[in-house]
Structure 1
Amino acid sequence: MANNYPVGFYFELSFKGEDAAFKEVSGISKELSMEEVVCGGENRFKYRLPTITTSQNLVLKRALIPEGSKLIDWCASTLDEGLANAITTHDVSVSLFNPDGSISVMWTFYNAYPVKYSVSDLKSQENELVIESIELAYTYFVITPDTSIADLFA
C-alpha cells in the first residue's frame, strides 16, 4: 500500500476569496491549559485540571510584494487605525495539498485579525530577498481532513 504523506512545501493561504503564496506558515497549534489544585490533607501531589484551550498566533512569511495586496491593505488599516474603529475580522484558511493537487488537510482560522507586521533586516552586504511577516490572532481553528475543492464551495 502506497503512503501518500503530505509534503510541507505545497500549501496556500486563502483570505476573502483570494489565494496568497507564502514561504512559511507557523503557529498552527492548540494547547489545553491546566490549573493546579492542592487538595487539603494530600501533600504527595497536586490535581491538574483542564481550563481553556489556547493557541499561538498564526505567522505568515513571504517575499516582500511592492504592489499592494488586500491582505496588506487589511493589515495596514487594522494596525494604523488602532482602536478608533472596530477591528475587521476575517476567516483565513491554510490548505496543505497532496502531490496530485487535491487538498490533504485544511485549517480554517476563525475571526482572524492582524496583530503584527514586520520586514526583515536590510543588509547591504547580503544578497537575500526582503521577507515580510504578518502575524494574525484568531479565536479558534478547525481542521478539515481530505477536503476536495468541490466540497469547499458546495
Structure 2
Amino acid sequence: MSDYYPPWGFYYQVKFGISQNKNDARFQTVSGLSVEYDMEEYKEGGENRFVHKLPVRTKYADLALKRGMLTDSEVIKWFLNAFRDREFKPTEVSIILMNEKGEPLRTWNVVNAIPRKWVISDLNASENSVVIETMELSYRYFTIQ
C-alpha cells in the first residue's frame, strides 16, 4: 500500500475549443478556478442571536491566464475579434492537470468562455524580461472530470 501524495501544480495544459495550435495550450499561470454561493440574509422575527443565510446562486470567478507573448495565436485572433469587431463567440476551455507520465489527473471544463480583458506587460528597455500577455475570460460555469 502506498501513501497518497498530492499532485504537483506545474504540469498542466490549457485547451481551447477554437485552436488546435499546440502553443496555445502553454501557459505560465492559470488562476480563477473558483466557485462560491451568493448568500441572502433572512432575519427571523423574535430570533436575535443570528441571521439565517440562505444560498441563492453560484458565482464563478473570471479565469486569468498568463504566458509569454505569441505572435501567431488563434486565441489572440479570437480576443482581437471580440475587442476590435465585437464578435463574441463563446468557446469551451479545458484545463488539464497531468501526472508525471503525462496522463490527465483532473480536468476542469470551462463552459461558454468569452474574452473579458487582455493585458500586455510593460515594455522596459532597462530590463531583460519576456513580454507576458495576460488574458481574462468570463464564463458561465465549469465542470470537473
TM over 0.5: yes
In 2, distance between residues paired with 1:99 and 1:54? Answer: 33
The alpha-carbon deviation at position 88 of structure 1 amounts to: 0.7
Is 1:81 the counterpart of 2:85? The answer is yes
In 2, distance between residues paired with 1:98 and 1:65? Answer: 26
Give 1:43's aligned residue. 48
The alpha-carbon deviation at position 103 of structure 1 amounts to: 0.2
Give 2:73's aligned residue. 69
Aligned length: 140
* Structure 2: stretches of 5+ with no match in the other structure: none
In 1, distance between residues paired with 2:90 and 2:126? Answer: 40
In 2, distance between residues paired with 1:81 and 1:29? Answer: 30
Give 1:12's aligned residue. 13
Give the percent of matched residue pairs that are identical in Structure 1 and Structure 2: 39
CA root-mean-square deviation: 1.3
The amino acid that maps onto 1:128 is S
**1:26-66 Cα deviation digits (max 9, x unpaired):** 00101112111111222221000001110110100000112
Give 1:101's aligned residue. 102
In 1, distance between residues paired with 2:122 and 2:131? Answer: 8
Is 1:92 the counterpart of 2:96? The answer is no
- Which residues of 2 match residues 130-141 of structure 1 at below 5 A? 130-141=131-142
Per mean C-alpha deviation after superposition, the further-off stretch among 18-27 and 88-97 is: 18-27
Give 1:57's aligned residue. 62
